[in-house]
Amino acid sequence: MKTRKLGPLTVSEIGYGTMSFANYYGASPERSEAIRVIRGAYERGVTLFDTAEAYGPFTNEDLVGEALAPVRDGVVIATKFGWNIDSETGERRPGLNSKPAHVRRAVEGMLRRLRTDRIDLLYQHRVDPEVAIEEVAGVVGDLIADGKVGHFGLSEPAAPTIRRAHAVQPVAAIQSEYSLWTRDPEPEILPLCDELGIGFVPWSPLGAGFLTGKVDPNATIDKADFRSNSPRFTPEAMSANQALVDLLRRIAEAKGATPAQIALGWLLARRPFIVPIPGTRRLDRVEENLGAAQVVLSPDDMREIEAAASKITVHGARLPEAVLQYSYR
DSSP letters spanning 46-71: --EEE--TTTTTTHHHHHHHHHHGGG
Residue 217: what pLDDT? Answer: 86
Architecture of domain 3-208+270-294: Alpha-Beta Barrel (3.20)
Which residues of 125-266 form beta strands (DSSP E)? 149-155, 171-177, 199-203
Residue 52: what pLDDT? Answer: 98
- Closest Cα to residue 109, out of 42, 56, 49? 56
The stretch 126-147 carries a mean pLDDT of 98
The answer to whether 244 touches 312, Cβ cutoff 8 Å, is yes
The answer to whether 224 touches 275, Cβ cutoff 8 Å, is no
What is the C-alpha to C-alpha distance for residues 252 and 266, in angstroms, rounded to an integer? Answer: 11
Positive or negative CA dihedral for 62, 30, 208, 323?
negative
pLDDT per residue over 21-74, tens digit each? 998 898 899 999 999 999 999 999 999 999 999 999 999 999 999 999 999 999
Q: Looking at the predicted structure, is the pLDDT value of residue 318 above 90? A: yes
Residue 275: what pLDDT? Answer: 99
76 Cβ neighbours under 8 A, 6+ residues apart: 9, 11, 47, 48, 49, 120, 121
Residue 220: what pLDDT? Answer: 85
pLDDT per residue over 190-217, tens digit each? 999 999 999 999 999 999 999 999 998 8
What is the C-alpha to C-alpha distance for residues 65 and 116, in angstroms, rounded to an integer? Answer: 8
The stretch 125-132 carries a mean pLDDT of 98
Residue 77: what pLDDT? Answer: 98
**Residue 289 identity (one-letter amino acid):** N
Peptide bond into 157 cis (omega under 30): no
Average pLDDT over the chain, rounded to whole?
97
The stretch 272-300 carries a mean pLDDT of 97
Q: Looking at the predicted structure, is the pLDDT value of residue 242 above 90? A: yes
What is the C-alpha to C-alpha distance for residues 185 and 158, in angstroms, rounded to an integer? Answer: 9
The stretch 246-268 carries a mean pLDDT of 98
The single-letter DSSP state of residue 117 is: S
What is the C-alpha to C-alpha distance for residues 68 and 216, in angstroms, rounded to an integer? Answer: 34
Helical pair 100-113 and 133-145, crossing angle rounded to 10 deg: 40
Hey, how many other C-beta atoms are within 10 angstroms of the C-beta on 95?
12
Residue 24: what pLDDT? Answer: 87
Percent of the chain scoring above 70 in pLDDT: 100
The answer to whether 201 touches 276, Cβ cutoff 8 Å, is yes
Which residues are known catalytic residues?
55
The pTM of this model reads 0.98
**Residue 141 identity (one-letter amino acid):** G
Q: Where are the domains of the chain?
A: 3-208+270-294
11 Cβ neighbours under 8 A, 6+ residues apart: 3, 4, 5, 47, 48, 76, 275
